[in-house]
């Protein structure tokens, strides 16, 4: 399997869907602000994972593009809100000015709200799925995105700045803030694909390991990115106000942890056989990613 073309074609499917669906029936400028961030790029990792998870359980992943697109809308909303001055106060995202830098804070807030709420409309437009299963999947996504998932993790994050967290505290934070949306993607995709309870258990375990490895590699990239941009040594003190796997363990150990976690994630998928190959390849890609 050629991963690059798999990622490209699945990414294009999601992009095409979003392009057509967003802005339908627009009544205000908020649609333009929403589209600005959705069209700014991004790896489309969560929707691609949802479709790959459905493939892995024997279904046709590309059939579930509406739910996949909804996940990307929720992810994009979280990035817009995360970049606001009252949160991380970032000027750039996905290689462009952040939403609030272009449209102002109020419109950026609304663009995030619009994406979050419309995501549920879009997900429920999914056809070809037993309505009971679709409801369970949408419920899972809501749970993973909300106060017991991403929103809760973000709240933990902003209240723990300037503290060095323990490994346990950090794991809990990231499982909620970043990991939960990967669980929504992988478990949700497997549910849509009709997975049995044992397969769902395997897929959820895989998603947790994937989320952990994603976070560790994100922390590593953060430090390496800073070193490249500012000519500073990797693991500079500037990042120490946030607890990360690198600040807790150092760069070398963090790299080892990422490799070990990804190996475990890959091994978890062994019982699914050949059908899980795209998921395996995406897992391997995580280790070598540059963004």
Binding residues vs ligand GRG (CB under 6 A): 42-43, 45, 75, 78-79, 81-82, 94, 150-151, 154, 177-178, 218
In angstroms, what is the minimal distance from the CB of 215 to ligand GRG? 7
Other residues' Cβ atoms within 10 Å of the Cβ of residue 230: 10
Name which of 11 and 61 has its Cβ closer to ligand GRG.
11
Name which of 81 and 100 has its Cβ closer to ligand GRG.
81
Name which of 39 and 200 has its Cβ closer to ligand GRG.
39
In angstroms, what is the minimal distance from the CB of 96 to ligand GRG? 11
Query: How far apart, in whole angstroms, are the C-alpha atoms of residue 258 and residue 213?
Result: 5
Helices (H), the chain: 3-21, 30-38, 45-56, 65-83, 99-103, 105-123, 131-145, 150-159, 167-174, 180-192, 197-230, 245-249, 251-268, 277-288
Measuring CA to CA, which residue among 72, 53, 81 is closest to residue 277? 53
In angstroms, what is the minimal distance from the CB of 165 to ligand GRG? 15
Measuring CA to CA, which residue among 9, 99, 97, 86 is closest to residue 52? 9
Name which of 59 and 110 has its Cβ closer to ligand GRG.
110
In angstroms, what is the minimal distance from the CB of 121 to ligand GRG? 19
């Amino acid at each position: 399997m050629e991963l690059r073309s798999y990622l490209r074609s699945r990414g294009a499917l999601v992009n095409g869907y979003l392009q057509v669906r967003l802005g339908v029936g627009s009544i205000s400028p908020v649609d333009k602000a929403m589209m600005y961030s959705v069209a700014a790029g991004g790896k489309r990792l969560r929707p691609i994972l949802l479709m790959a998870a459905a493939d892995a359980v024997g279904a046709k992943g590309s059939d579930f593009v509406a739910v996949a697109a909804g996940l990307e809308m929720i992810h994009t909303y979280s990035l817009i809100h995360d970049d606001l001055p009252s949160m991380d106060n970032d000027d750039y995202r996905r290689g462009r000015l952040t939403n609030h830098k272009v449209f102002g804070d109020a419109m950026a807030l609304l663009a995030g709200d619009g994406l979050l709420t419309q995501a549920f409309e879009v997900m429920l437009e999914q056809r070809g799925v037993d309505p009971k299963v679709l409801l369970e999947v949408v419920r899972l996504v809501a749970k993973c995105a909300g106060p017991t998932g991403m929103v809760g993790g973000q709240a933990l994050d902003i209240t723990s700045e300037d503290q060095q967290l323990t490994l346990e505290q950090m794991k809990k934070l990231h499982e909620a803030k970043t990991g939960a949306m990967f669980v929504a993607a992988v478990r949700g995709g497997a549910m849509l694909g009709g997975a049995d309870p044992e397969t769902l258990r395997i897929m959820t375990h895989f998603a947790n390991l994937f989320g952990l490895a994603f976070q560790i590699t994100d922390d590593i990239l953060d430090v390496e990115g800073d070193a490249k941009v500012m000519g500073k040594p990797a693991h500079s003190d500037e990042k120490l106000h946030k607890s990360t796997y690198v600040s807790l363990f150092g760069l070398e150990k963090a790299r080892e942890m990422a490799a070990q976690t990804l190996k475990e994630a890959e091994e978890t998928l062994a019982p699914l056989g050949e059908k899980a190959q795209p998921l395996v390849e995406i897992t391997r890609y995580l280790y070598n990613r540059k963004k």
